[in-house]
Amino acid sequence: MADVTSVLKTLEIPSEFSLAEDAKTSDITLQLRIWKDFALQGLRELQRLNLEATLLSRSTDSVSTLAQIIPFEGTSEWTSESHRTIAQELLKPLAPPDAELVSEILIQHVKPAFMTAPHPMLDTETGRKLPRTAGGSLATQDFYEHQRWKSKPWVADLVSWCIRNLGSSDYERYWHLIIPPTMTMLDDLNGAWRIRGVELVSELLEHVPPELLRRTGVDRLISSVSLHNVMGFLHNPETPHLIEIAVPVFIQFVKKTTAPGSSARFEELSSLLGKGIIGTVWAYASKDQATIEVSVKCLPLIFAELGIGAARYMKSIVPQLLFLIVPEEFRVIPPSSQLAALSALTALITHMPTRISGRKADILDGVCRRWVVTQETHRNNEMEAALKGVCRALEAACPELKEDDYPFFLGLDRELFGDLLESAS
């Protein structure tokens, strides 16, 4: 193992990868780039040494070797396509790994990293939700101290690999090893770690039986607390991406853990829209354009699930979407945000056709105003198609538009508005 041991030292992932991008100096960035090159050479050397017998031996050394290879098969910043290809080739003889091997990875290389900062809402022995916060209200603050696991940036990759490689009947047995690190990352104050936590929850949903989530109370902890808290993680460089990946995961989580047509499902999805997006993102991040844009892009997903149930929020939704498309002097809205708003309007009308009539005049007016700008400045085929799409959806929901509203705009300037309105007729 002497040769292997020396090679494995080149694969020890530097803790500097845990630093935020703005905290990485040019020297650190250069050092990490150089390290990646050396790590790639190390992986190639392991490939040459033919580790199949070593990895299959299930010895302590083989588990440690495996734990150092696994992080390179993912998409973290210390990997590249070349790293991933070699790592996957090295791991291929183990496919599929047995549950005992997966548990050794969790016990030897994941659990020790999180022991100094146990999650205050989880029983560390069972992985079940606690009835109250362990240690009282101040324990939450203690949770964010002594986070040794943050010096091990690869730990999320190990948890991910273990989630993906356990059999459906094995999750309950190792629940106490999987859930604490997942929830710790999901509830962290650092945006990059929260993103990893959301990704791990997504993998849980793909592999873990929903009944286990419900029976251990983890479903309530994730949906009612952790994923909702994600929506309040604002004014941060990671906020837009965090919301972008969290909303689809939240929707999938609710669908997996609640019955179709149940009040529980309706309330969870309504809370996501009303409390999460409207009451938090739009209320407290109104000047963060990228965050607003991402939240608007998520609306069609929510409308598709809530359907007519989203109508109670229409008084808040329609003005926000029109704000993004109606031109105003000294207000610059990126075209991508305008397109997102138009897509959301089309989805709103499509999923709530019987409740849109009271807003049809405002929507048509906003669309026509934006149309004028597109015709008078620079033509944008994508924007024109999106504006026409809103008109088509609006006309399908409110056929009376052709007689009551279109003639007014066509009378003002048929040449200007004809392509918008008559193509939708």
Residue 176: predicted pLDDT = 95
Q: Is the pLDDT of residue 393 over 80?
A: yes
The partner residues of 129 in beta bridges, in order of sequence, read 122
pLDDT (average), residues 73-80? 91
pLDDT tens-digit readout, 94-103: 888 889 999 9
Confidence category of residue 140, pLDDT binned at 50, 70, 90? low
Q: Is the pLDDT of residue 424 over 60?
A: no
Q: Tokens for 137?
A: 């209200």
Residue 58 zone, left/alpha/beta (φ > 0; ψ -120 to 50; rest): left
The answer to whether 299 and 244 have CB atoms below 8 angstroms apart is no
How many residues in total does the chain contain? 425
Judged by DSSP in three states, 63 sits in helix
Q: Tokens for 259?
A: 């019955």
> Distance (Å, rounded) from C-alpha 149 to C-alpha 412?
66
Residue 119: predicted pLDDT = 85
Residue 181: predicted pLDDT = 95
Confidence category of residue 208, pLDDT binned at 50, 70, 90? very high
Query: Element (H or E) spanning 69, and its range?
Result: helix 60-69
pLDDT tens-digit readout, 349-376: 999 999 999 999 999 999 999 999 998 8
Give the C-alpha distances (Å, rounded to integers) separating 163 from 56, 159, 180, 206.
20, 6, 13, 9
Residue 1: predicted pLDDT = 46
Task: Note the Cα 55 to chain centre separation in Å.
Answer: 34
> Distance (Å, rounded) from C-alpha 240 to C-alpha 261?
30
Q: Is the pLDDT of residue 129 over 70?
A: yes
pLDDT (average), residues 386-397? 95
Residue 57: predicted pLDDT = 63
Share of residues in the chain with pLDDT > 70 (%): 93
**Nearest alpha carbon to residue 250 among 301, 292, 214:** 301
